[in-house]
Amino acid sequence: MDSEQSKRLGAYLRARREALKLTTRQLAERAGLTDSTIVRIEQGAFAAPSPDKLAKLAESLGVSLADVYALADYAVPADLPSMGPYLRTKYRDLPSGAVEELQSQIGQILRQHGIEPNDGPEHGEDEIADT
């Protein structure tokens, strides 16, 4: 993970923490981590935060582990990231406004077809059956 990815990941986690009105100390207690670890991750100071720490943060913040791993450029074999983290990871040079516009347009298209944007396939639905 490069420094820009570290900063994007940190900004994503900080925004979620702030949306939940949690202090870094409160999040640290929830996740079983130190306050300084939370601050350093949010600042993008870790080049490669450990997957277990990211998993604890994702669970404590109520966000998809796949989203967090996608931002960290870590593989998650059992889950796909949602559209925002996917676009930010896949198209790193795309401005954030463009990512938001794409998310909005994709959401509109999905709703036109009776699909809620945050709904995904049930476990195993997207797997190809053995023949």
Query: Helix (H) and strand (E) counts for the chain?
Result: 7, 0
User: What is the reported pTM?
Assistant: 0.61
Residue 127 pLDDT greater than 70, yes or no? no
Spatial distance between the Cα atoms of 41 and 45, rounded to a whole number of angstroms: 6
Total domain count, the chain: 1
Asked whether residue 120 is assigned to any structural domain, the reply reads no
Query: Considering the domain boundaries, does residue 71 fall inside one?
Result: yes
For residue 118, being part of any structural domain is answered with: no
User: Which residue has 């023949």 as its token pair?
Assistant: 131
Q: What pLDDT sits at residue 15? A: 95
Domain range holding 26?
Answer: 3-112
Q: Report if residue 103 sits inside a domain.
A: yes
In a domain, 69, yes or no: yes
| Residue 87 covered by a domain | yes
**pLDDT of res. 74:** 85
Q: What are the structure tokens assigned to 17, written together?
A: 């923490």
For 70-125, the pLDDT digits (tens) are 888 887 656 667 777 788 778 878 888 898 899 889 889 988 988 877 655 454 44
Environment class of residue 7 by beta-carbon count within 10 Å: exposed (0-12), middle (13-18) or buried (19+)?
middle
Domain with residue 74: its CATH number is 1.10.260.40
